[in-house]
Amino acid sequence: MPHIHPKTTPIYQTSVFAFEDLNALESYFEQPGQSYMYTRYGNPNTDELAKEVNKLEGGAGGVATSSGMSAILAAVLAVCKAGDHVLYAEEIYGGSSALLSQELIRVGIEVSFVPTADTYILDNYIQPNTRLLLAETMSNPLLQVLDVARLAQETQRHGIKLAIDNTFATPILTKPLDLGADIAIHSVTKYLSGHSDVTAGVVVCKEQEDLQRVQKVMMVYGLNLSPFEGWLAARGLKTLRLRMKQHCNTALEIANYLKQHPKVEKVWYPGLAEHPQYELAKQQGQGMFGGMLSFKIVDETEAVNRFMRALSGIPFTPSLAGVSTSISYPLGTSHRSLTSEQQQKMGITAGVIRFSVGIEEPEELIAELETALAEV
């Protein structure tokens, strides 16, 4: 049989790999990464995904996981054990907040949040057992932009690790490890895969020691990604740069359109000059501002319902970052688990809608929005 050189990695849809003899088995343990044994430990498809994301982020290596949530779990457990303390930024994804404040405290990890106003001054929040701070490049859903380099200086001053969820920005806009972070995390489900057909995560580490710990946690806790989803995600990743340019360009046009619409009370988008972190976003995002925005109409649930029903071509889905535009409702999905006081404090009210801009032409989306806003 001739030697085959496929241009695309085949799908290794197998749970286990065979060894020729005992010598091959010993070689597997003596030279890690040279061969495969069991897909929970590693698989060519998931390794390809991790390697390609690491190349974009510029780390020591990456680990693919079964979801964005398992990526966050792996990153935290790689650094922290029972008795350690974790800090997280106040404006963080609701699922991340629930994982830390409701689940990890059950296994003996102490958790507390840093109010947004104090993000870059941690003296009052650091404890002797603090090991890690988790934050996001851009917050969900109100798109506050984090000065990663500034926060990295502060975490380094206190001798703790900085983990950045870079899902909203992607490494096309921002590379947290280059700015001083220790760990970059992605929900690959979103932009990296990009086609709303994969659930996956990835953790990229700056230091080899952290990488080995993440790898161990993934293997022992069974947080591995399936080969087929790894293959799909690696396939989607190949068009990331092109997609991000279109997402960003269209989102800026949509934000400018919504800003001047009489039915829209407020728009949150880092690419608008009035955004409080506009200059930071411009510099940290290489002149691009992302494909996510949020806007506020009147704070009436029925008005939101009328708007949603009138969007015939834009679905209401509790996720983001696909090639097709979608909307989400933070009050009822991502931030549902917060108290009403927390929701109000963050500005997540009944009229706030999150808009994930796809890669369609802006004229199509503006026409659709025009029709729907007329129903508000």
Instruction: Note if 190 is an active site residue.
Output: yes
Residue from 121, 133, 373, 85 nearest 254 by CA: 373
Cα–Cα distances (Å) from 5 to 9, 10, 52, 286, in that order, read: 9, 10, 19, 37
Residue 99, phi then psi, degrees to nearest 5:
-55, -50
Catalytic option among 165, 182, 329, 354: 165
Residue from 81, 92, 194 nearest 129 by CA: 81
Rounded to whole angstroms, the Cα distance separating 370 from 247 reads 20
Q: Three-state SS string across the chain, please?
A: CCCCCCCCCCCCCCCECCCCCHHHHHHHHHCCCCCCCECCCCCHHHHHHHHHHHHHHCCCEEEEECCHHHHHHHHHHHHCCCCCEEEEECCCCHHHHHHHHHHHHHHCCEEEEECHHHCCCCCCCCCCCEEEEEEECECCCCCCECCHHHHHHHHHHCCCEEEEECCCCHHHHCCHHHHCCCEEEEECCCCCCCCCCCCCEEEEECCHHHHHHHHHHHHHHCCCCCHHHHHHHHHHHCCHHHHHHHHHHHHHHHHHHHHCCCCCCEEECCCCCCCCCHHHHHHHCCCCCCCEEEEECCCCHHHHHHHHHHCCCCCECCCCCCCCCEEECCCCCCCCCCCHHHHHHHCCCCCEEEEECCCCCHHHHHHHHHHHHCCC
Catalytic option among 190, 213, 243, 296: 190
Instruction: Note if 84 is an active site residue.
Output: no
Catalytic option among 40, 259, 266, 345: 40
Instruction: Note if 165 is an active site residue.
Output: yes
Tokens encoding 74: 């792996």
Instruction: Note if 123 is an active site residue.
Output: no
Catalytic option among 12, 36, 88, 93: 93
Q: Which residues are catalytic?
A: 40, 93, 165, 190
